[in-house]
Each structure stands twice: as C-alpha cells, then as structure tokens.
Amino acid sequence: MRSVDLNADMGEGFGAYRKGDDAGLMGTVTSANIACGFHAGDPHVMHRTVELCAEHGVAAGAHPGYADLLGFGRRPVEAAPDEVYDWVLYQVGALDAFLRARGLRLQHVKPHGALYNRAAGDPDLARAVARAVRDYDPDLILLGLAGSELERAARQLGVRVAREAFLDRAYRPDGTLVPRSVPGAVLTDPEEVAARAVRMVTRGTVDTIDGGEIEVQAESFCVHGDSPGAVELARAVRSALEAAGVRVAPLSEIVGGLTA
C-alpha cells in the first residue's frame, strides 16, 4: 500500500489577526508547517498551534520565511546565503522551544513563500537552508519541491529530504508553481483537487496550466491553510486517497533512505 503525507501551512495569524482554520484542518492532515514569527505567527499563535498538534496527534514542522509580515512572506527579499542560514536557524529554534516545552519533537522544516520558491531555483540559497536544518538537528526532514535545488542540496549534505507536491496550485511545464498573480494559479474546487490528488499519487502525473502533463514524484502533498475552503479541500483529498487505497501518514513514518 502506498503511503503519503498530507501537510498544511498553519499558525499564520498574528496578534489579533486570524488566518485559516487550523483547528478544522487538524483532524485531516498528518503534518503541520507552523509559521515561526517572520512572515506570520507570534509566540502565542505558535504556542496555540503546537497545542493543537498535540491534541490531534499531528506532526509539527517549522515553516520559516522572510521577515515580511506586510507581504506575508510572499515577496522576495534580497539576502546573502549566510543571512538566510541565520534566519532559518533562528526560526526553527524558536518553534522547537514550544515543542520541547510540550514534550514533542520537531519533525521537519519547510521554507515558506518566496524563500521556498527562491531556494527551489537558487543552489546557494538552497544550500544555506539545508545547512541550517542539518546543523540544528541532523534527524530533521527538509521538505521541498520535487526536483528542486532544495532537494539536491539536501541530498548533497546528507539531510533527510521529502519531496513535496501541491494539490491546490497550478503547475508550469518546468515543474514550478504558477505565480499567484496569474488567473487559475490557485485551485479551490474540492472534487477537482481530490481527483488531482489521486492522479498525482497513483499515476505520478499532473496537468500543467498550458494543457500539458508532467511527472511528479512526492512523499508529501500540500493543501494551503489559507486557501479558500481549505478544510473542505483537505477532507475531500483524504477521503479520495483512502478510497483509492492510499494510506495517509506523517512524514516520519514515510521518509527512510531518501538521502544520497
């Protein structure tokens, strides 16, 4: 039986502002990518999200991003690789403090937004992120776009790596994500997304925005917590996968000898 992880970005509120239905998603996903205070989140939000993970048995991961609250971390920030290393290390440590206080273990690290997309195509940034993960805890899993520089850097540095695919985002022919500013970039229909998930997992292919088809191999599949109807999307996806004979489980139960 094929096993895959279903992840979602969570803890993306800030102060009095709330974003997404974390409690609703917790009953469906197996891994949570928790904002670490730079692009979203604050100490109280981080603490509350960790408590939700504990209550629902969802594995927790750090979701470090650029320090860009106004842009939600989706705007590129010019920074040297050494700066990115420090930012990732800082954010991972901040989230891990709340997990340790609760007696929980950090499972993975997934960069957020513009940092994720830039590191996917920039070998130097990818290596900075992978080094931070390795230096903080060599047992952590780095979650990155399948076929990206993040995956390559992790393998080169001996970091445990999981390949990620996106269920609610459109793909370009080169395997990268269609920018959110382009119409059709974000998918919101539960039936469409669920059928797409089954195809991606069982056949290893996904349609591109230009009508083509590309191969995609991944261990973890993402539904964005801030997408419209994210809870309904995640529930439809999990039901469809399980109906197709796919087991949904946390990354730590799936990732084994993926490093080079």
Rounded average pLDDT over 134-154: 96
pLDDT for 258 equals 42
- For the segment 189-220, what is each residue's pLDDT rounded down to a tens digit? 999 999 999 999 999 999 999 999 999 999 99
Which residue shows structure tokens 């230096």? 135
Rounded average pLDDT over 170-196: 92
* pLDDT tops 50 at residue 33: yes
Is 121 in contact with 176 (CB distance < 8 Å)? yes
Rounded average pLDDT over 96-107: 98
In the chain, what percentage of residues exceed pLDDT 70?
98
* pLDDT tops 70 at residue 64: yes
* pLDDT tops 50 at residue 259: no
* pLDDT tops 80 at residue 56: yes
pLDDT for 260 equals 37
Both structure tokens of 203 = 């056949």
pLDDT for 18 equals 84
CATH number of the 3-253 domain: 3.20.20.370
DSSP the chain: --EEEEEEEE---BTTB--S-HHHHHTT-SEEEEE-SSSS--HHHHHHHHHHHHHHTPEEEEE---S-TTTTT-S-----HHHHHHHHHHHHHHHHHHHHHTT----EE---HHHHHHHHH-HHHHHHHHHHHHHH-TTPEEEEETTSHHHHHHHHHT-EEEEEEESSB-B-TTSPBPPTTSTTSB---HHHHHHHHHHHHHT-EEEBTTS-EEE---SEEE--TTSTTHHHHHHHHHHHHHHTTPEE--GGGT--S---
DSSP 146-167: TTSHHHHHHHHHT-EEEEEEES
pLDDT for 50 equals 98
State the pLDDT confidence band at 19, using cuts at 50, 70 and 90.
Answer: confident
Mean pLDDT of the chain, nearest integer: 94
State the pLDDT confidence band at 251, using cuts at 50, 70 and 90.
Answer: very high
